[in-house]
Amino acid sequence: MPGGFHNRVLRINLTTGDISVEEPGEEFFRTYLGGWGMIAHYLLKELPRDADPFGPENLLIFAAGVLTGAPAGGSGRNAVGAKSPLTGGFGESDMGGYWGAELKRAGWDAIIITGKAEKPTYIWIKDGAVELRDAGHLWGCETLEVERTLRSELEEPRLRVAQCGPAGERLARMACIIGDATRAAGRTGLGAVMGSKNLKAVVVRGTSGVEVADKEAVRKIAKWLSDNVRNLWTAGMQDFGTSGGLQYLSTIGGLPTRNFQEGSFEGAEKITGSTMADTILIANDTCYACPVRCKRKVEVKDRFPVTPEYGGPEYETLGAFGSVCGIDDLEAIAYANQLCNAYGLDTISTGMTIAWAMECFERGLLTLEDTDGLELHFGNAEAMLALVKAIVQRKGFGDVLAEGALRAARFIGRDTERYVVHVKGQEFPMHEPRVKFALNLGYIISPTGADHMHNMHDTSFTQSIEGVRSLGILEPLPADYLGPEKVRLFKYEVDWQVFWNCVGLCMFMPYSKLQIRDLVSAVTGWDVSLFELEKVGERALALARVFNAREGFTPADDAPHWRISTPFESGPTAGVKVPAEAMREALLLYYDMCSWDRNTGAPIPAKLHELGVGWAIQ
């Protein structure tokens, strides 16, 4: 028997209360490996065209990967997907922690939720038993309170909760899904889809192990990781979390600052990972089976009380509430992080939406009248925190911002849309394309809009040519280059990283690609090749592009942001921009490399056939 999956997909219709089990079969799991690919499959097959993301017909899919729950580091992740209320296209985001592994331990590979519950509801899964339960008493509650209440009322101290938080209940389009009160499937507004279905939480307790095909082989890989965490770059992740490089990025001009107007932040040192380690950090946290322990637990007592139970800010959060808002107050950022984890907001979109408002305010496009009297200058931490709260409460200006920066700008008008730094309506994450050129291409072509979860190759590549040699890329390429060799590397790496989002693997693992192949084989028992795994990623990306084309996206939506083609005015990268013409050429070259139709933006039929998904031809 192959391992890594149960061949059990839980189907729940919240309108009718119907609960059923689907067994898609081994071929299905080998074709997609779970996660993103599985989500794209079901969205294309079952969601009617032009469906309202907030309508009952939207599918909300929690999909583990074949690695999720395997006893080896990096396997604590699962994907969540739906038609995105933020972009109107393919919505997908991944979270770490323990929830996904618990789902697998309960005997499930995925949950597909349709319909809309009449009243607030939560799903309670204990191994094979599945119940829909009233969530009236949880509605409006902060995530930690929900966790505590559920643990108590279900008498299961070890259950795991994925929930939408008050922001999702109120359909904030940057609402996320929070797991373990500390992790987030952050992007594309999936928490609001949950809220739209009156679904407060998916609560899981699994008491079985996750079967793997070759225990000894998995154990060996896990041991290799434990033995080497301190010898590899993961040591830095352990010591300083994801924000260990924040200050360095500022030094080289690559730290998004003041709504991407600048690349260096004068307050970077105050919010970087080592400063956090020296001040508010009280402990490391980790995800399922992972010895890297890159997660943070921070505590702040006085001004902004922050409890370690809500974890601590990631690099993305430190950027989005810090440098991007011109704020160097680490405690305020930690507090904003806590608010987001408590209320279910994506820290990236939230910070970026506030930063947009700040830029508009400074440019005189927003007035105190618009902002409910808040002095929205860059650097105003109090105003930033007030807006986070207002977004959750959907009060005044917060109600406007809760729609995301693009919709807010369109609501307000006055040329404010110019300053929304986004692709497809999703705000940029904290990575500066003017330092890593190919990231811009990544933001543009991603079916989820500006997204860093499948486009990060520039960094890893400049760190190590070794990481890509097994794909046949033999020469290092500079980060500020966008020629054909880079586009090739980019294509291979994007497909590879989308594969991660299928299989449920964390990008912060120091495994080589061939070790990852070994891990997938050890877990599943399938003798997979890197060729097959690359194709899994390419397939998943292709299906998401088909989905977007079906929903009305065209190549015009793969547009670079003007700001990235505008040089920095100051700092170490003054004058640097991603040249618009080079960008255009790279984009077309990438289209051709992917066999994406230049007219529709979707893969041509032959590509879908080549990926074994000819059924997806529209």
Hunting for tokens 């119907």 — which residue is that? 18
Minimum CB separation of residue 499 from a second copy in Å reads 11
Residue type present at position 160? R
Q: Which is nearer to a second copy, 4 or 165 (CB)?
A: 4
Contact between 440 and 564 under an 8 Å Cβ cutoff? The reply is yes
Contacts 24+ apart (CB under 8 A), 406-415: 407/173, 408/353, 408/356, 408/357, 409/356, 409/360, 412/360, 412/365, 412/366, 412/370, 414/365, 415/365
Minimum CB separation of residue 525 from a second copy in Å reads 12
- Count of C-beta atoms within a 10 Å radius of residue 497: 21
User: Closest Cα to residue 182, out of 145, 143, 141, 156?
Assistant: 143
Looking at 183, 258, 457, 535, which residue binds a second copy (CB under 8 A)?
535
368, burial (CB in 10 Å: exposed 0-12, middle 13-18, buried 19+): exposed
Minimum CB separation of residue 601 from a second copy in Å reads 15
User: Closest Cα to residue 232, out of 171, 306, 291, 317?
Assistant: 291
Determine, following the binding rule CB under 8 A, whether residue 472 of this chain makes contact with a second copy. Answer: yes
- Count of C-beta atoms within a 10 Å radius of residue 466: 9
Determine, following the binding rule CB under 8 A, whether residue 517 of this chain makes contact with a second copy. Answer: yes
Q: How many Å apart are CA 219 and CA 511, to the nearest integer?
A: 14
Determine, following the binding rule CB under 8 A, whether residue 183 of this chain makes contact with a second copy. Answer: no
Question: What are the angstrom distances between the C-alpha of 422 and each of 54, 122, 317, 352, 404?
Answer: 22, 33, 17, 9, 10
Looking at 367, 373, 606, 618, which residue binds a second copy (CB under 8 A)?
606
User: Closest Cα to residue 524, out of 72, 121, 29?
Assistant: 29
Among the candidate windows 227-235, 340-348, 409-417, 468-476, which touches a second copy by CB under 8 A? 468-476
Question: What are the angstrom distances between the C-alpha of 182 and each of 70, 162, 288, 296?
Answer: 21, 10, 13, 10
Among the candidate windows 54-62, 335-343, 409-417, 508-516, which touches a second copy by CB under 8 A? 508-516
Minimum CB separation of residue 540 from a second copy in Å reads 13
Determine, following the binding rule CB under 8 A, whether residue 610 of this chain makes contact with a second copy. Answer: yes
Minimum CB separation of residue 456 from a second copy in Å reads 19
Return the residues of window 437-466 that contact a second copy according to CB under 8 A: none
Determine, following the binding rule CB under 8 A, whether residue 512 of this chain makes contact with a second copy. Answer: yes
User: Closest Cα to residue 269, out of 288, 286, 245?
Assistant: 245
Question: What are the angstrom distances between the C-alpha of 526 and each of 59, 69, 508?
Answer: 30, 17, 24
Q: Which is nearer to a second copy, 265 or 590 (CB)?
A: 590
Q: Which is nearer to a second copy, 230 or 598 (CB)?
A: 598
Q: Which is nearer to a second copy, 240 or 496 (CB)?
A: 496
Residues 6+ apart with CB under 8 A from 379: 325, 326, 327, 328
Residue type present at position 27? E
Looking at 11, 126, 394, 488, which residue binds a second copy (CB under 8 A)?
488
Determine, following the binding rule CB under 8 A, whether residue 527 of this chain makes contact with a second copy. Answer: yes
Minimum CB separation of residue 67 from a second copy in Å reads 17
Q: Over the Cα atoms of the chain, what is R_g?
A: 22
Q: Which is nearer to a second copy, 388 or 608 (CB)?
A: 608
Residue 560 CB-half CA count within 13 A: 26
Among the candidate windows 445-453, 456-464, 553-561, 608-616, which touches a second copy by CB under 8 A? 608-616
Looking at 48, 128, 478, 484, which residue binds a second copy (CB under 8 A)?
484
Determine, following the binding rule CB under 8 A, whether residue 299 of this chain makes contact with a second copy. Answer: no
The residue count for binding a second copy (CB under 8 A) is 44
SS3 state at 517? helix
Q: Which is nearer to a second copy, 296 or 535 (CB)?
A: 535
Q: How many Å apart are CA 45 and CA 405, to the nearest integer?
A: 31
Minimum CB separation of residue 492 from a second copy in Å reads 8
Determine, following the binding rule CB under 8 A, whether residue 507 of this chain makes contact with a second copy. Answer: no
Looking at 136, 552, 575, 612, which residue binds a second copy (CB under 8 A)?
612
Q: How many Å apart are CA 349 and CA 183, to the nearest integer?
A: 15
Minimum CB separation of residue 424 from a second copy in Å reads 23
Determine, following the binding rule CB under 8 A, whether residue 481 of this chain makes contact with a second copy. Answer: no
Q: How many Å apart are CA 511 and CA 458, to the nearest integer?
A: 17
Determine, following the binding rule CB under 8 A, whether residue 618 of this chain makes contact with a second copy. Answer: no
Determine, following the binding rule CB under 8 A, whether residue 485 of this chain makes contact with a second copy. Answer: yes
Return the residues of window 272-291 that contact a second copy according to CB under 8 A: none
Minimum CB separation of residue 617 from a second copy in Å reads 10
Determine, following the binding rule CB under 8 A, whether residue 476 of this chain makes contact with a second copy. Answer: no
> What would the two tokens of residue 310 be?
């809500």
Minimum CB separation of residue 483 from a second copy in Å reads 9
Determine, following the binding rule CB under 8 A, whether residue 232 of this chain makes contact with a second copy. Answer: no
Hunting for tokens 């807010």 — which residue is that? 408
Q: How many Å apart are CA 288 and CA 301, to the nearest integer?
A: 29
Please name the helix (run of DSSP H) or strand (run of DSSP E) that holds residue 1, with its range, or none: none
Residues 6+ apart with CB under 8 A from 385: 304, 332, 335, 336, 339
Among the candidate windows 8-16, 23-31, 172-180, 364-372, which touches a second copy by CB under 8 A? 23-31
Minimum CB separation of residue 448 from a second copy in Å reads 23
Q: Which is nearer to a second copy, 382 or 592 (CB)?
A: 592
Among the candidate windows 192-200, 283-291, 350-358, 482-490, which touches a second copy by CB under 8 A? 482-490
Return the residues of window 560-599 that contact a second copy according to CB under 8 A: 589, 591-593, 595
Residue 187 CB-half CA count within 13 A: 30
307-346 footprint of a second copy as x/- string (CB under 8 A): ----------------------------------------
Determine, following the binding rule CB under 8 A, whether residue 513 of this chain makes contact with a second copy. Answer: yes
| Positions that interact with a second copy (CB under 8 A) | 27, 30-31, 469-475, 484-485, 487-488, 491-492, 512-514, 517, 526-536, 589, 591-593, 595, 604-607, 609-610, 612, 614
